[in-house]
Amino acid sequence: MSLQGLKFGRPRVRTTAFVLVMSLLSAASGQGVSAPVSDGVPLTAAWRSPTEAVYRIVSPLGERTVTMMPMAARLDTLAGKTVCMVWNNAFKADVTLPVIGEALKKRYPDTTVVPYTALPVAPLPEPHGVPKRNSDAMQAALKSKRCDAVITGNGGCGICTPRANHAAVLAERSGIPAVIVTNPGFDEQARTMARDAGMPSLQVALYPDPFDLETDAQLQQKTLSLVVPRVIDALTRPLPASTGTALKPDPGEIVFVGSIDDANRYFADRGWSDGLAITPPTRQRVEEFLKYTDYAPHEPIAVLPPANLTATPWNIAVNGVMAGSRPEHMPLLIAAVQAIADPAFRYTNHGASTHGFTNFFWVNGPLARQLGIDHGQGLIAHPVNSVLGRAMSLIERNIAGLRIKETQMGSFGKVASWFLAEDEVAVNALGWEPYHVDKGFAKNANTISAGNSTLWGRNLVPSTSDPKVLMQIMAYGITNTEALASGFTGMSRRYVLIEPGVAKILAEGGYTKRGLRQDLIKTGRVTTHEATFSQVYGSFGRVNRSFEAEYARAHASGKSERGRLPPWYPRFPGWEEVETMPAVGILEFIVCGDPSRNKVQILAGGPGNAIKEIRLPASWDELMDKAGYRPLRQFALP
């Protein structure tokens, strides 16, 4: 078989549309079907038509792993107590926390205030299964300082808020009352994440405006007049008794009975869908997905932050059904969940971020070709790629627990996840190795990789057949594509999607992937003045010193060098004295896209990514034959 024959494994044409329509019309039905009640809301929608199908639907949510704990008792007074300050190295808490401490000392002269400089920086919660070294160190420090109360801050972004929030959770677990300082919007994030960590009623002292847009004088005045009274109240006002731990629901329980329109509205109203139409997740549909995995239906696959819910084949399948995925996509979805749960993916570092990181996935191996995951023109918009991406977005919503205006804090939102495949046939012809082989997997292993990006990419159109100049224009694009926010130059990973025609010019010019990576990193530089300006005035929340101090630190870092001005700058008199710094340190290459065009796409994201081998069930070949696919072995590369 030719290599061209390896590209797609489309199922044989069958009367799929007719079967689908008939199955929708013949779904479980019957007027007067009884259904349970949840939170006082009937789970059976109003009957609309005796001919309209009725669906008995299960929940898409992950299984809870955390039990609620009692809150620490509030103090009668702060007089004579030891009050400890914990900061998250962000959003000018170095200004606001000392103001709070000074105000407390003035009001309660015999109070001891432990400054934030005497305690560790607030850590992010460690991923499930990872040793909790930072958390243990924070709790030990609070104990060693004999803290009677803890004040943490400042919560002003999607990642810095969880840091300050986690310090408050650790204090409460140690029996120490705590309060977190946030600005509006992030108070709800803090409370939700605290509940997900087992704290039923986190106390918040609200600062009214964005911290980084305030002068020091404004911060001091508003903290003194508004925040300090709220801090005192949060630490001394008695809390209502906890309502106790909710019963663990049966994952297979019917949570809604009704028409397809009512089901869609019900799921959207509860935040379980993205608002687009879903396929009703009935038990029967979920069970079809479960045929395509050897994992037991309720076997733990991963615990996803920040909601700390367990992903199982059952709830992964529910979300796959909702997205419109096919049952044979099940092994991909399981492996994708395992990838984002891997500590190397660093989900806790970016999942809730205001920068709107979007998870994306790419598939290598013969399975991508068998399932028809597209690697060519329009790849992420291909129907197979689209439903897989939507399924992972729903999993992020319902199992990771990331929802807008609660815990997913993207300032302008975030786009849906996307899927793609690498064009391994083209890579093979170039003499390069596919992505997964570079990572140590066999050529015909099936893998899924997970990355993240703040954008779908900066589009470059190289218009040269000179491989060196082509590399230089790629370096130009990489250098000018900052990730997260201004201030992250050189601190992130770039994913470089290279169309086969562009890759051919590079390969025929003598470039290997390794050589290309080295030259791009060596060429992609930014002036030290520009990098410092971006870092100081485009801060992503981290507290920076003055421009002069940061420039001096960059100059002394050893990374700032003279005489290495990139080729797109003019060689003016004295150019040799201009100092530049590396713009990027981590590059990943994926060959894909329209083979008839001359484009490169640069995606900028955080440093975390992960790759997992896809586990197929023992009966895969038999199942796929029944589903109308060609055998997997026919898609192997020679």
Give the pLDDT confidence of 120-151 residue by residue, as tens digits.
Answer: 999 989 988 888 999 999 999 999 999 999 99
Whose tokens are 């900052």? That residue is: 482
1: confidence class by pLDDT, cuts 50, 70, 90: very low
| Dihedral of the alpha carbons of 353, 354, 358, 359, in degrees to the nearest 10 | 0
CB contact burial 617-630 (16+ within 10 A = b; e otherwise): beebeebbeeeebb
Is residue 403 exposed (0-12), middle (13-18) or buried (19+ Cβ within 10 Å)? Answer: middle
DSSP-based three-state secondary structure for 226: helix
pLDDT at 397: 94
Cβ atoms of 407 and 306 closer than 8 Å: yes
- Copy the structure tokens of residue 487: 């201030």
The residue type found at 236 is T
List the domains of the chain with CATH numbers.
3-23+252-524+585-615 (no CATH), 82-236 (3.40.50), 526-582 (no CATH)
Distance CA 177, CA 235 (A): 6
Cβ atoms of 600 and 462 closer than 8 Å: yes
pTM of the entire predicted model: 0.88
Run of H or E including 151: strand 149-155
Cβ atoms of 62 and 315 closer than 8 Å: yes
Q: How far is CA 213 from the centre of its chain?
A: 26
- Copy the structure tokens of residue 461: 């159109």
Mean pLDDT of 552-574: 92
The residue among 388, 290, 374 whose CA lies nearest residue 339 is: 388
For residue 327, what are the CA distances in angstroms to 114, 277, 293, 601?
Answer: 57, 18, 10, 31
Which one-letter DSSP state was computed for residue 50?
Answer: T
Give the pLDDT confidence of 233-269 residue by residue, as tens digits.
Answer: 999 999 987 655 555 678 889 999 999 999 999 999 9
Give the pLDDT confidence of 89-121 residue by residue, as tens digits.
Answer: 888 999 999 999 999 999 999 999 999 999 999
Q: How far is CA 363 from the centre of its chain?
A: 18
- Copy the structure tokens of residue 638: 């020679």
- Ranges of beta strands (E only) in 475-563 are 493-498, 525-527, 561-562
Mean pLDDT of 15-20: 36
Give the pLDDT confidence of 539-558 residue by residue, as tens digits.
Answer: 665 666 788 998 898 888 88
Which one-letter DSSP state was computed for residue 411?
Answer: B
Q: Phi, psi (5° rounding) for residue 628?
A: 95, 15
pLDDT at 9: 54
The residue type found at 221 is Q
Cβ atoms of 301 and 316 closer than 8 Å: yes
Give the pLDDT confidence of 340-398 residue by residue, as tens digits.
Answer: 999 999 888 777 777 778 899 999 999 999 999 999 999 999 999 999 999 999 999 99
Query: Is 70 exceeded by the pLDDT of residue 273?
Result: yes
Query: Is 50 exceeded by the pLDDT of residue 13?
Result: no
Q: Phi, psi (5° rounding) for residue 169?
A: -60, -45
**Pairing status of strand 41-42 against strand 37-38:** antiparallel
pLDDT at 607: 76
| Helix pair angle (330-341, 383-398), 10° resolution | 50
Query: Is 60 exceeded by the pLDDT of residue 289?
Result: yes
Cα angle, residue 122 at apex, residues 119 and 127 outer, rounded to 5°? 135
Distance CA 468, CA 457 (A): 22
The residue type found at 15 is T
Cite the DSSP H helix spans in 3-111. 16-25, 93-107
DSSP-based three-state secondary structure for 542: strand
For residue 268, what are the CA distances in angstroms to 41, 59, 261, 619?
Answer: 15, 13, 11, 36
DSSP-based three-state secondary structure for 152: strand
The dihedral through the CA atoms of 552, 556, 559, 565 has a sign that is positive
**How much of the chain exceeds pLDDT 70, in percent?**
89
3-state helix vs strand vs coil in the chain, percent to 5: 40, 15, 45
- Copy the structure tokens of residue 608: 């975390």
